[in-house]
Amino acid sequence: MAQQLDLQEQEQIDALKAFWAKYGNLIMWTVTLVLAVFAAWTWWQKMERDKAAVASTMYGEMQTAAAAGDAKRAGQILGDMKSKAAKTTYTQLGGLLAAKTQADKGDTADATANLQWVAENGNDENAAVAHLRLAGLLADARKYDDALKELALVKPASFAALVADRRGDIELARGQKDAAVKAYKVAYDGLPETLQYRLLVQAKLTALGAAPAASAASGAAQ
């Protein structure tokens, strides 16, 4: 009986040896690859955390420069953010803030360039803000068709009312009153009643003789 067990054990050992001889290298390479991927993922996460920390600090510096109206310093900080942590959300926000500071100082060229960078590299929400602001700068330069094209690039549905409001501004600036009223009505209907911004859109409609309340009353009478 003992001899039979020894034979069975030997057969199992031989089978294991044969299996390992055939698949051992593959198993070792697979395990090594998994460990390497895990190590790389851990390292990447650490690098991303470090970059986010650096970008957060630099964004704080950006806010200080913006509050002081220092457009030149804001641009310098953004350049550092792009070189050290280009893919972080802080850098996207930094691009928007630097552009606002530059535009306020009349530096529309740099403001436009930074907004375009955010539009191309930011997440959907930040890119949407960039397109809206670009549309505003283009409208100020009387490039109305280009401004409307920027609005068409806004993706998130949550920005639809803001896009409509900006479209109304552009249409009004180029003398298209009816198109402006139509856009403002879309904006008004799309904004929550509790949002103060809605009152601004209502004021625009009222100034154009199309106050929402008056329109509703007219519709009810008919």
What would the pLDDT profile of 124-161 be if each residue is shown by its tens digit?
Answer: 999 999 999 999 999 999 999 999 999 999 999 999 99
Secondary structure (3-state) at 86 = coil
* Each residue's pLDDT tens digit, 151-199: 999 999 999 999 999 999 999 999 999 999 999 999 999 999 988 999 9
Secondary structure (3-state) at 142 = coil
Q: What is the mean pLDDT of residues 60-84?
A: 94
Q: How many CB atoms lie within 10 A of CB 132?
A: 20
Q: How many CB atoms lie within 10 A of CB 81?
A: 26
The pTM for the full model equals: 0.75
The span from the CA of 113 to the CA of 119, in Å, is 10
pLDDT confidence band for 55 (50 / 70 / 90): confident
The span from the CA of 114 to the CA of 25, in Å, is 52
